[in-house]
Amino acid sequence: MRAVQQVLKSGQLRAGRIVDQFEASFARAVGARHAVAVNSGTTALFLAYRALLKPGDEVIVPDFTFVATASMVVAVGAKPVFADVDPATFLLDPADVERHLTLRTRALAPVHLYGCPADIAGLMRVARRYRLRVIWDAAQAHGAKFHGHDVGWFPDVVCYSFYPSKNVTTGEGGMLTTSDPSLAAEFRLARSHGEESRYRHVRLGFNFRLTDVAAALGREQMRKLPSAVRKRQRHAAILTSGLANIPGLETPRITAGAEHAFNVFTIRLNPKILGMSRAEFQKTLAQRGIETAVHYPLPLHRQPIFRGWGSDRDFPTSTRLAQTVLSLPVHPGLSERDLRYIIRTVRAVTEAPED
């Protein structure tokens, strides 16, 4: 609050010095050479796709993610090609990616869903073999690592969101990280009307700028990120051991070599074994004061906006996941007592579903 107040008092509310500082601290934290702040995760994806794709190019996108990963491909005139996800990790599977390649495939858009890094090594191998660009959707993965490197370090471009549910928030906001200076320069031009110097416009651009007020929040949040992620990981460990061996309930599995940032803690239910539907389970938890969410109730190929873009194919894993996943609270504000209560309640509900 103090940081925001200082910006307000300065009278400089537009993008300025504080945005520069936020970008510098973000780039340092993830180990990337450049970080470019924008006004949402969606615009980050839009700018990344716009810089790397041409109309008609195909991009392989996991079928199980938030809509923007694919809708922004459409927004730049390219075509999202959905691939099914790994049934254990719910993430884009490099083997399945290879089955979807065509001569028009230009890029991969893997998602570090829930904060769990995708199989970065496997996906980069595919990208190198077929000369594909990679745009990583890290909207949920601030602070996640893969073999010791922050997910924001990997080429070509990594896109983040600062929506309030994320590990770092500015209310609304986003960031692109890259180590390619020409891409970074392109993003800076495009986010601000292609303006090279005052009122000299060299490219088609937009107003996708973040404000100093938002950046002040982000800069403070970056300081807290390591401890917030440690808390999330600790909470996830408590939930994972507390919810072990419940028939019909699976806790999250993590990609080999990955450090999950646990933006979301998502369990998978088997309604037949549990003896109740996900909706009933969710309702019972809500009655006992535990808020849960479904990320996501529809796989992308079933979304009305993507009708005809792969709806003729089968995506057994993402289709099943959409019916069976449920996210439990894992945020840093939970106390040990809250976590014990969640575990006790879930155990009680699963042991005696009719109560």
Ligand X SMILES: Cc1ncc(COP(=O)(O)O)c(C=O)c1O
How many other C-beta atoms lie within 10 A of the C-beta of residue 198?
A: 5
Contact call for residue 66 and ligand X (CB under 6 A): yes
Residue of closest CB approach to ligand X: 41
Q: Judged by CB, which is closer to ligand X: 152, or 343?
A: 152
Contact call for residue 329 and ligand X (CB under 6 A): no
Residue 10 beta carbon to ligand X: minimum distance, rounded to whole angstroms: 26
Residue 165 beta carbon to ligand X: minimum distance, rounded to whole angstroms: 7
Residue 318 beta carbon to ligand X: minimum distance, rounded to whole angstroms: 14
Q: Judged by CB, which is closer to ligand X: 162, or 281?
A: 162
Q: Judged by CB, which is closer to ligand X: 61, or 249?
A: 61
Number of residues near ligand X (by CB under 6 A): 14
Can you tell me which of 25, 40, 178, 284 binds ligand X, judged by CB under 6 A?
Answer: 40
Binding region for ligand X (CB under 6 A) out of 38-46, 47-55, 272-280, 336-344: 38-46
Q: Judged by CB, which is closer to ligand X: 113, or 285?
A: 113
Contact call for residue 65 and ligand X (CB under 6 A): yes
Can you tell me which of 25, 27, 30, 41 binds ligand X, judged by CB under 6 A?
Answer: 41
Residue 40 beta carbon to ligand X: minimum distance, rounded to whole angstroms: 4
Contacts of residue 190, Cβ cutoff 8 Å, sequence gap at least 6? 47, 50, 51, 203, 204, 205, 206, 208
| Binding mask of the shown chain, residues 148 to 177, with x at each position contacting ligand X by CB under 6 A | -------------x-x----------x---
Q: Judged by CB, which is closer to ligand X: 214, or 343?
A: 214
Can you tell me which of 38, 48, 69, 321 binds ligand X, judged by CB under 6 A?
Answer: 69
| Binding mask of the shown chain, residues 173 to 202, with x at each position contacting ligand X by CB under 6 A | -x----------------------------
Residue 158 beta carbon to ligand X: minimum distance, rounded to whole angstroms: 12
Contacts of residue 253, Cβ cutoff 8 Å, sequence gap at least 6? 88, 89
The 3-class SS string of the chain reads: CHHHHHHHHHCCCCCCHHHHHHHHHHHHHHCCCEEEEECCHHHHHHHHHHHHCCCCCEEEEECCCCCHHHHHHHHCCCEEEEECECCCCCCECHHHHHHCCCCCEEEECCECHHHCCCCHHHHHHHHHHCCCEEEEECCCCCCCEECCEEHHHCCCEEEEECCCCCCCCCCCCEEEEECCHHHHHHHHHHHECCEEECCEECCCCCECCCCHHHHHHHHHHHHHHHHHHHHHHHHHHHHHHHCCCCCCEECCCCCCCEECCCCCEEEEECHHHHCCCHHHHHHHHHHCCCCCECCCCCCHHHCHHHCCCCCCCCCHHHHHHHHHEEEECCCCCCCHHHHHHHHHHHHHHHHCCCC
Q: Judged by CB, which is closer to ligand X: 69, or 317?
A: 69
Contact call for residue 76 and ligand X (CB under 6 A): no
Can you tell me which of 25, 35, 38, 42 binds ligand X, judged by CB under 6 A?
Answer: 42
Contact call for residue 22 and ligand X (CB under 6 A): no
Binding region for ligand X (CB under 6 A) out of 39-47, 74-82, 87-95, 212-220: 39-47
Which residues, numbered 83-142, are part of the site for ligand X (CB under 6 A)? 111, 137, 139-140
Q: Judged by CB, which is closer to ligand X: 80, or 174?
A: 174
Which residues here bind ligand X, judged by CB under 6 A? Answer: 40-42, 65-66, 68-69, 111, 137, 139-140, 161, 163, 174
